[in-house]
Structure 1
Amino acid sequence: MLHYGGILMISNYRSTSGFTLIELMISLVLGLLISAAVIQVYLTNTKTASTQKSGSELQEASVFGLQQLENHLRLANLGNSVNSITDKTVGGGIVISPENIGLESTDTSESLYFTRTGGDSNITGINSDQLTIQFKNTTGVKIPDCESADIDPKATVIERYFIRSSSTTGQGLLLACDAGRVTDTGITGLSADYESGGSEVILGVDQFKILLGIQTDAPSDAGLMRYLTASEYLALSGTKPPITAVKIGLIVRGSSPVIGSDVATSFKLLGATQPLKSGQPKLVRTTYESTTLLRNARVINIDTSTTLTAGS
C-alpha cells in the first residue's frame, strides 16, 4: 500500500514475465521441425499410395489384357488346312500380305490393316507395331472375338491389335483391338479409320512391338528360331520361311503421378532401347514381354540325310 497526501492507496501493479528471444527462436525452430516431419510423412504416404495404385494397374494389364491377347493369338490359323504360315498362305493366321486374305498380291486396298509398323507411340523416333491375326471358328458353337461380339460357327474372324488414343480426355494411348470378318468378298466389320475404333484391351500403353519367329529348313539353322520385324520378314528373298511364333513387347504405365523421385525415361524392349518422348508425365512404368508359339502353325523338320537301319 502507498500513502499519497494522507490518502491510503492500494497498488494493483504486478510484475510479469514472458519468453525471451532465445526461447521464442527455439519454439519456432521446434515448430518448423515438427511441421517438416508431418509433411514428410504425408509425402511418403502419398507416394506409397500412388505407387501401389500404379502397381495394381500394371498388374491388371498383365493379368487380364496381356493374357487375353495371348489367348487369341494362340487361335491364329485355326481352321486352316495349311499349317505353314507365310506371306503366301491363304487364310494364314498372321495377316501380313494381301494373299493371306485371298486377295491378289498387287492389291493394296487393305494393306493398312495388315501386320506392320507405323502406329502411334510415346517413344522418341520409334513407331508402334500393329498385329493382325485371323482364324476360323471350328468349335461348332459361338465364341467371342476380342470385342466380345459372337463369332458364328465356321466364320473366319480377323483381329487387329494396335495403339490409339483413348476416347477419354487425359488417358493418353492404349492398346485396342478391332475385329471383323473375312468373307469371299473381302473384309467386313473393321473400322473405316484404321487409326481409331476397336475396343480397349490394355490402358496406358506407351509402346507395342512385335517380332515374328521363323524356322528355316537349312541344315545349318535347322531347329533354330530367328525373330524378325514384319518389314524384315517381307524383305527376305525367295521363298520365305514359315512363321511359328510371335514375340510381344509392351511398355505400360500407371495413371497416378510419382511424387518426389525420378522415374525411368528409357526402357529395353525386345532387345531395343526405347527412350520416352520429352514432356511425358512422371508415372510408374514397366515392360512386359512374352513369346507365344502358334499351335496351329506347327512345322516339323524331317532329316532325311541319314539312312536308318534295323537295330541302329
Structure 2
Amino acid sequence: MSVLHSNIPKQSMSKLLKVQQGFTLVELMISLVLGLLISAAVMQIYIANVRSATLQEAGSSVIDANVFGIPIIEDHIRLANLGLAGKVDDTSEGSGIVLTQTGNLKGIKLTGNKEVPIALLTNTGDVTAVGSGNQWSAKTATNTPSGQLTLQFRAPQDMYDCEGNLALGPREVTINNVKKVIDGQIVIERYYLQAQDSAKPNNLSLFCDAGKYITEDMDKYEEQGRSGKSSTVFVEKNVIKDFGDKGEVIIQEMDYFDILLGTKDGSVVRYYTVKQYTDSITKPEIISIKIGGIIRSNNVVQTSALTNEFQVLGKTIKLKTDATDVEKKYLRFVFQNEIALRNARLNL
C-alpha cells in the first residue's frame, strides 16, 4: 500500500481530495434557491388548480339547482288555480294562490277538524304571524326574513305532487246511485325554507310540503281512491290530508326565498307583498307570481372575489351579521323569475 501511495503524484492527490470534498457553500445556496423557486411555482399551480376545481364544483351545484329545482316550482305555479276559482285573489273560494283560510280555504279543514293556520298559507317576509316546528317561520340565512308560497290546483290527470305522491285526475264514482265522472283531486303545496339539521340553522334548503283534498259528495268514498296508494284515498270531503309536515327538499342550499304577487288593474301592473295586498282596499286580481332567492353552492370556494350583498325582488339582501368566515366563502347565485298564472280568469 505504501508503495502504491508513494507512486501517486502529489498534484493528482490534491485534485482527488478536492473532488471528494462535495459542493461548495455557494453551490448549495444556489441549489437551495432554485429548489425554493421551483417549489413555489409548483405550489402556485396547485393552488390555482384547487381554486379552479372548487369554483367549478360550486358552479355545478348552483347550475343543478337552476336546471332541476326551480323548473319544478315554475311548472306547478303554472298549474295553480286549474279547475278551481273564477279569479285569483284573497277572498275567492278555491283561489289557486292561497292567502286566507276564511276566503280561499273556506270550509276546508286539516285532519282532526283543525283550522288551517296562517303559517301554512302564502306569506312574504313582511308578515309577522309566523309559526313553529314544520310551519313557515321566515327562516333565512340573511338579514331579511323569507316568505312562503302556497298554491293549489286540481290534478288534470294522474300525476305526482312535489313530494312524489300520487294524485288522481278525473275518475268515475257513484253519486246518488249514478255513475259520474268527477274532476281531479285538489293538490295543495307550499314552498318554504327549512333547515335539514337543526344544529345548523343557517344551512337552509327549499322544502315542498304537499297535501290533497276532495270537495265532492259521493256514495262510496273508497271508489275515488286507489287502495294501494294511500295518498289518494279519502274517507270524507273538505279535509286536507298529509299537509303541514316538513315535506321534501326541492333545492339544496338556499339562503333566502320570497315572492311577490303580480297584479294588473286595467293597464296598471303592480307587484305586492302579501301584507301590502291583504291591507289594500282595492285588490286587483293576481295574474302572476314573482319568485326570487339566493342559492348557494354546497362547497366553499377558495377565492376572495365573493360578494355577500345581493339584489333580490327589489331589495338589498345581505348575509346575517353572525355568518362565519366559512359561510361567507360559498358561491352564491341570485334567481328571479316571473311566472304567469295560466288559469287566472282575468280578461286582459
Whether contact under 8 Å (2:85, 2:93) holds in the other structure is no
Q: What residue in structure 2 maps to residue 115 of structure 1? A: 122
Q: Is residue 274 of structure 1 aligned with residue 290 of structure 2? A: no
Over the aligned positions, Cα root-mean-square deviation in angstroms equals 2.5
Distance in 2 (CA, whole Å) between partners of 1:100 and 1:145 is 20
Q: TM-score, normalised by structure 1?
A: 0.83
SS in 1 for 2:148: strand
Q: State the SS of the aligned residue for 1:65.
A: helix
Looking at structure 1, the residues matched to 165 and 308 of structure 2 have their Cα atoms a distance apart, in angstroms, of 38
- The equivalent residue for 2:295 is 252
SS at match of 1:132: strand
Tell me which of 244, 256, 261 is aligned to 2:304.
261
Is 1:206 aligned with 2:209?
Answer: no
**2:68 matched to which residue of 1?**
64
Which residue number corresponds to residue 148 of structure 1?
164
Whole-angstrom CA distance in 1 between matches of 2:167 and 2:96: 16
1:191 aligned to 244, 262, 274, which one?
Answer: 244
Aligned to 1:32: 36
For 2:147, the equivalent position in structure 1 comes to 129
1:157-236 maps to which residues of 2 (within 5 A)?
157-167=187-197, 172-183=203-214, 184-192=237-245, 197-216=246-265, 222-236=266-280
Specify whether residues 121 and 254 from structure 1 end up closer, same or farther in structure 2 by C-alpha distance, changes over 3 A only.
Answer: same
1:261 offset after TM fit, Å?
2.4
In structure 2, runs of 5+ residues without a counterpart are 109-113, 126-136, 170-183, 215-236
Identical aligned pairs, as a percentage? 37
**AA aligned opposite 2:29:** M
Whether contact under 8 Å (2:204, 2:255) holds in the other structure is yes
CA separation of 1:22 and 1:169: change in aligned 2, threshold 3 A: farther
**Stretch of structure 1 that moved more, 276-285 or 156-165:** 276-285
- Report how far residue 286 of structure 1 moved: 0.8
Q: Give distance in 1, aligned partners of 2:255 and 2:48.
A: 27
Superposition misfits of 4+ residues, deviation over 6 angstroms: 10-13, 168-171
Query: Structure 1 or 2: larger helix share?
Result: 2
The answer as to whether partners of 1:162 and 1:175 remain within 8 angstroms in 2 is yes
For 2:230, the equivalent position in structure 1 comes to none
Aligned residues: 282
Q: Matched residues in 2 for 1:127 and 1:67: separation?
A: 23
One of 3, 14, 17 as aligned partner of 1:15: 17
Q: Normalising by structure 2, what TM-score?
A: 0.75
Deviation of 1:188 (Å): 2.2
1:293 maps onto 2:340 in alignment: yes
Instruction: Please state how far the C-alpha of 1:88 moved relative to its aligned partner.
Output: 0.2
Distance 2:92 2:276 in 1: 18
SS of match in other structure, 1:226: strand
Q: Secondary structure at the match of 1:148?
A: coil
Residue aligning to 1:309: none
Change (3 A) 1:168 1:52: farther
Q: Which residue of 2 aligns with 1:310?
A: none
Q: 2 CA distance for matches of 1:74 and 1:284?
A: 30
CA distance in 2, matches of 1:168, 1:254: 19
Deviations 1:262-282 (A, max 9, x none): 311111111111101221241
Separation in 1 of the partners of 2:65 and 2:165?
21
Verify the 8 A CA contact 1:213 1:247 in the aligned structure 2.
yes
